[in-house]
Structure 1
Amino acid sequence: MDFISILSIFVLACFVGYYVVWSVTPALHTPLMAVTNAISSVIIVGALIASAEAGDGLAKWLGLAGVVFASINIFGGFAVTERMLA
C-alpha cells in the first residue's frame, strides 16, 4: 500500500473513533475504557511478532519499546478503570 492509502485509513479511523467515543453515554465510559485497554494487548502481540521476524537490531529494540509502552498503557488503564469503579 502506498503512503496516501495508509494516511487516509488513519485519518478515517481517527474521525470514526472520535465520534464513537463522544456518542457513548456517560454510564458506559468505564466499560468502554476497560475494553479499550484489553484491545491494547493486540499491540503487544504485534510488536512481539514484528520484532521476532526482524533481522535488524534497531527493529528488535523498537519492538521491545512497543511492548514496554503498550504494557504501561494496559496496566495504567486498568488501574484507572478500577479506581473509577471503586
Structure 2
Amino acid sequence: MNTTTLIQLFVFLLAGFVGFQSISRIPPLLHTPLMAATNAISGISLVASLVLAGSDHGLLATVLGTVAVAAAMANVVGGFLITDRMLAMFKRDNSRNKEGASSASAQ
C-alpha cells in the first residue's frame, strides 16, 4: 500500500468514528431535520453515480456506476419514506380534534 491509500483509509476510518459519535449524541427531536439533510447528501451521490455510470471510462466503471446508482436510489427513496413516516408522527389527527370539540360543545 502506498502513502496515499493509507491516508485515505485513515480519513475514512476517522470520518466513520466521528460520524457515529456525533449522530449518537443527537436528541430524537432533531432526527427529522438530520434525515432531510442526509437525503440531500444521498441525492448528490446519486447524481455523481449517474455521471460515472454514463461515462466512457471502461466496462468496470460503468458496472460500478450502475451499482452505485441502484444503491444511492435505494438510499434516497428509503430515506424519504422514513422521513415521511417521522413527519406523520407530528401531524395532528383532525378526527380526534373534531370529536373532542363536538363533545366539549355538547356539554
| TM-score interval, normalised by the smaller of the two chains | 0.7 to 0.9
Q: Runs of 5+ in structure 2 lacking a partner?
A: 89-107
Determine if the alignment matches structure 1 residue 4 to structure 2 residue 6: yes
TM-score normalised to structure 2 length: 0.72
Q: State the Cα distance separating 1:4 from its structure 2 match.
A: 0.4
Within the candidate set 42, 45, 49, 1:47 is matched to: 49
2-structure distance, mates of 1:5, 1:11: 10
- Which residue identity lines up with residue 7 of structure 2 in the other structure? S
Determine if the alignment matches structure 1 residue 37 to structure 2 residue 39: yes
- Which residue identity lines up with residue 10 of structure 1 in the other structure? F
1-structure distance, mates of 2:7, 2:24: 26
2-structure distance, mates of 1:13, 1:55: 29
2-structure distance, mates of 1:38, 1:15: 21
2-structure distance, mates of 1:50, 1:69: 14
Q: State the Cα distance separating 1:73 from its structure 2 match.
A: 0.7
Map of 1:63 onto structure 2: 65
- Which residue identity lines up with residue 62 of structure 1 in the other structure? L
Map of 1:81 onto structure 2: 83
1-structure distance, mates of 2:50, 2:44: 10
SS at match of 1:55: coil
2-structure distance, mates of 1:76, 1:21: 18
1-structure distance, mates of 2:69, 2:55: 15
Q: Which has the higher contact order (CA 8 A, sep 6+)?
A: 1
